[in-house]
Structure 1
Amino acid sequence: MTSTKDGVLVAAKQFLNFVNKSPSPFHVVQEVKALLLSSGFKELSETEPWSIKPLDKCFLTRNHSTIIAFAVGGKFKPGNGFSIIGAHTDSPCLKVKPRSKTDKSGYQMVGVQCYGGGIWHTWFDRDLTLAGRVITKNGDKLEHRLLNVEKPILKIPNICIHLMRDHNEKFSPNKESHLIPVLATAVQAELQDGSPKPSGENNKDALKEEKDKHQPLLVKLICDKLNIQPDQMMDFELCLADTQPAAIGGVLDEFIFSPRLDNLLNAYCATTALAESCNGNGLAADPNIRLICLFDNEEVGSESAQGAASTLQELVLRRLSAGGTSTAFEEAIPKSYMVSADQAHAVHPNYPEKHEDNHKIGLHKGVAVKFNANQRYATTAMTASILREIARREQCPLQEIVVRNDSACGSTIGPIMSAKLGIPTIDVGAPQLSMHSIREMCCTSSVLQTSQLFKAFFEHYPSVFASMQ
């Protein structure tokens, strides 16, 4: 499948719009929902019975941060297989502590926790904001409200080189002491709202109300954005995010400079591929159910009610298998196939020695298939061969990646899901640089190449599976 430069840029710019609207997992799910609803999908609830029929297109969410969507093939019957793409909605970031009010040396600051394995020095000297969800009380109801403060309100300033002469050689910030963003000065805060200065370096009083756990200016900002009173704010989950938008870069407009490429690129491409694969008559002839499963909490191990290690995916697949024989679910599993999609490490031009010599993947060269003999990735010779055949049919380029034997290997939801369900699984990812930095880098080609591969998977997997001996 060939792509023009214009087509590549159009797809990349559409992805940038998605990223810029998705500063937290809650916003990611909201944007995915919008894409699905515009493509004719309807929302289901876990708490209600389902009546699923061929050609139905549906989705459900859990915790507002995980979403599973599916399209039922026209020839599906219980016991048939599932064609699944899995990705995740979260990225390494800083999250506001439950009691974040911190006062130091005349500054009002916001206490944060480190979420995931971020490159934390990249968060210094960035124009930061807050995004996530706030739980509010409206009468007798608790409501989930999205928050995105679209201006820079926080900063983590570096120590100047004059006070740390070996800064360039030994800078290693203490994550508890040095990674605290500044919100305001105490002097200006007092002039602004007339509140008294806090006594001592930290306010250590026994705080009873949610609003008293955080800086008054922060509480006011949140309440003003949501048009609520402070006593209506029950709790929140807020991420720090860079206010600089994602952008096309490079002298040839060939790069994407963006936050959260890991793993919003695959979440977005899986969503668009599912929606586009339902156009035309292809779905009507499909014996399988096509699914995307976008989980939260992958960056911290997936062990949560909304993570890939939960029972969520299994419960959904069991419900979709209902109505057949008593073993319909068990019959479906060996007919199914899962693509675990998470970003991959492109060869770094300044550190080429960090990459295995025969597996240096490059930008613009296609999605990479990930292999690891120690099962950090779930790829097998069989699952790789199936995807190669699918890619061949649509001329989608593929690469292969293996880490060096003397290097640690990250992992994905692939081994988790394949072990829990026994579904044949492959790990893949588009190549990128600066993974887990606040600003990451990939190529514009990756968006279209990944979407095309995923769409080809949905359309061709059943016939490829049927051809296996």
Structure 2
Amino acid sequence: MSSLTKSQLQRQAEQLVDFINKSPSPFHAVDVCRKWLRGAQFTELKEKQSWHGAIKPNGRYFFTRNGSSLVAFAVGGKFHPGNGVSIVGAHTDSPCFKLKPVSKKSGSGFLQVGVQVYGGGLWHTWFDRDLSVAGRVMVKDASGGYANRLIAIEEPIMRIPSLAIHLERSMADGFKYNKEVHLTPILATVFKAVNGEKSEKSDNEKEPKPAHHPILLERIAKELDIKVGDISDFELCLYDTQKATIGGICNEFIYSARLDNLNSSYCAIESLINSLSEESAADDSHIRMVALFDNEEVGSTSAYGANSALIESAIRRVHDSFDNCGRSCFEECVANSYLISSDVTHAVHPNYSEKHEENHRPELHKGPAIKINANQRYATTAVTSAILKDIAARNDIPIQEFVVRNDSSCGSTIGPMLSAKLGLRTIDIGNPLLSMHSIREVCGTDDVGLMVKLFEHFFNEFAAIDAKISVD
């Protein structure tokens, strides 16, 4: 077992819980990381501005894209163009419901809100939960410009109620629902909201109908201390207002939404900051980098997903900022680099243990699991696995391995696409999780600290270990 103390493991679990509770949307998660990095003396860069001459050895930097993706990196004191980048990649998004552009709906005396399903959620777990909205609002300012404002209404304002079993006895044998019809949340009753709805009535038939219930727009405006007319547009998702918490009779579980994949996002940023002792950073010949992407749950193909040029652009611009960068520096750098694709993995379920291959059953509290798939749904190879196992063994960090059964489908991660796009050595790894894609997931408290420590040692030790690897 790792040399980490119980108090250190507990502290990391508590910090993850705090991070999740502050991050009901990807925009909030990136904003929390931005503040965190600034507090650790990272300088914020802007993609719209030149970086030439701005990147220096021993420097710490980060930038964001779309407010929902983030890249942070620290340049080693001995780095020169062509040296490698030690990368940990994760994602900020989770399965959820997102408000439709025209969300105003009603029926049977209720005001309802039209939503789109985002990702592959266990949608039945969203029934009978206390829901609210979070995300970003584009607000018009006095000068005619637009400002990006984050919002998270803490009070439960929506709910998707189940149908009583007395009205559909077959539900006892199998809960079936239509995604378009039955996943529409209730906002209010017409009777109670009638004053808020008066503004919708007009004698002018040519006047456009509002896209959203005025009572909802008024609540958003109140939260932001603006006028309804100042709201230009928004991207809002539903979230469960029940807070993440540590539970279990031994206080060994984290019960939470969005553990997939704020678990890995937290571990990545925490480990990068923790790894930057003055001596360690000064002696490093590599760049240490964390990339947090949006849109993994829907395939990553967006300007701020892992299937974009985000990482390539970051590495190229870092190299271009150095005057002594040669023509092949980028290609040399990629060949010297290594990516840890970190996403949660399936812990063995005691009630469904037959769903796991008998020799590959990750357990809680027994460390991160390396994910392997012969059909390249994960990017792990013998070389990349050997490197990380060596780092784990040197530092007494337990490692597990996960392979799906041959008669089961296998999910994928950002690892294969980034490896293919860049020709980058990659390993897929993740902390074990129960109830993946549920509105309330479960992970082990100890695994958070173990993952953080593994990433710290990766940042500190990879360059030296890689110098001893002779495999091309």
TM-score, normalising length: structure 2:
0.96
8 A Cα contact 1:88 1:267, kept in partner:
yes
Equivalent residue for 1:129? Answer: 132
User: C-alpha separation between the residues in 1 aligned to 2:317 and 2:95?
Assistant: 33
Is 1:147–2:151 an aligned residue pair?
Answer: yes
Give the gaps of 5 or more residues in structure 1: 200-204
4+ aligned runs moved over 2 Å, structure 1:
191-199, 205-209
The Cα of 1:206 is off from its aligned counterpart by 8.0
RMSD: 1.5
SS at match of 2:400: strand
Corresponding letter in the other structure for 1:111: G
The Cα of 1:120 is off from its aligned counterpart by 0.2
User: C-alpha separation between the residues in 2 aligned to 1:343 and 1:413?
Assistant: 12
Deviation per residue, 1:85-105 (Å, 9 max, x gap) = 000000000001000000111
Report % sequence identity: 52
SS at match of 1:166: helix
Equivalent residue for 1:244? Answer: 242
The Cα of 1:26 is off from its aligned counterpart by 0.1
SS at match of 2:180: coil
SS at match of 2:103: strand
8 A Cα contact 1:207 1:213, kept in partner:
no
Equivalent residue for 1:117? Answer: 120
Equivalent residue for 1:467? Answer: 468
Equivalent residue for 2:439? Answer: 438
Is 1:188–2:189 an aligned residue pair?
Answer: no
8 A Cα contact 2:221 2:228, kept in partner:
yes
Corresponding letter in the other structure for 2:47: E
Equivalent residue for 2:106? Answer: 103
User: C-alpha separation between the residues in 1 aligned to 2:122 and 2:289?
Assistant: 32
The Cα of 1:192 is off from its aligned counterpart by 5.4
**Pick aligned residue for 2:69 from 58, 66, 70:** 66
User: C-alpha separation between the residues in 1 aligned to 2:449 and 2:162?
Assistant: 38
SS at match of 1:395: coil
User: C-alpha separation between the residues in 2 aligned to 1:306 and 1:32?
Assistant: 16
Q: 1:461 to 1:208 in 2, by over 3 A?
A: farther
8 A Cα contact 2:197 2:213, kept in partner:
no
* Length, aligned pairs only: 462
User: C-alpha separation between the residues in 2 aligned to 1:460 and 1:29?
Assistant: 27
The Cα of 1:197 is off from its aligned counterpart by 7.5
The 5-angstrom pairing of residues 347-426 of structure 1 reads 347-426=348-427
Q: 1:389 to 1:109 in 2, by over 3 A?
A: same
**Pick aligned residue for 1:270 from 250, 263, 268:** 268
Q: 1:309 to 1:431 in 2, by over 3 A?
A: same
Give the gaps of 5 or more residues in structure 2: none
Q: 1:98 to 1:284 in 2, by over 3 A?
A: same
Deviation per residue, 1:89-131 (Å, 9 max, x gap) = 0000000100000011110010000000000000000000100
Q: 1:120 to 1:191 in 2, by over 3 A?
A: same
SS at match of 1:458: helix
Corresponding letter in the other structure for 1:97: K
Is 1:30–2:31 an aligned residue pair?
Answer: yes
User: C-alpha separation between the residues in 1 aligned to 2:85 and 2:15?
Assistant: 28
431-440 or 274-283: which moved more? 274-283
The Cα of 1:198 is off from its aligned counterpart by 11
8 A Cα contact 2:127 2:159, kept in partner:
yes
Deviation per residue, 1:388-411 (Å, 9 max, x gap) = 111112111100000000000000
Deviation per residue, 1:350-396 (Å, 9 max, x gap) = 00110001001100000000000000000000000000111112111
Deviation per residue, 1:434-454 (Å, 9 max, x gap) = 000000000101110110011
Q: 1:59 to 1:164 in 2, by over 3 A?
A: same
The Cα of 1:207 is off from its aligned counterpart by 7.5
SS at match of 1:132: strand
The 5-angstrom pairing of residues 312-323 of structure 1 reads 312-322=310-320, 323=322
162-171 or 112-121: which moved more? 162-171
User: C-alpha separation between the residues in 2 aligned to 1:208 and 1:15?
Assistant: 45
Equivalent residue for 1:202? Answer: none
User: C-alpha separation between the residues in 2 aligned to 1:458 and 1:268?
Assistant: 15
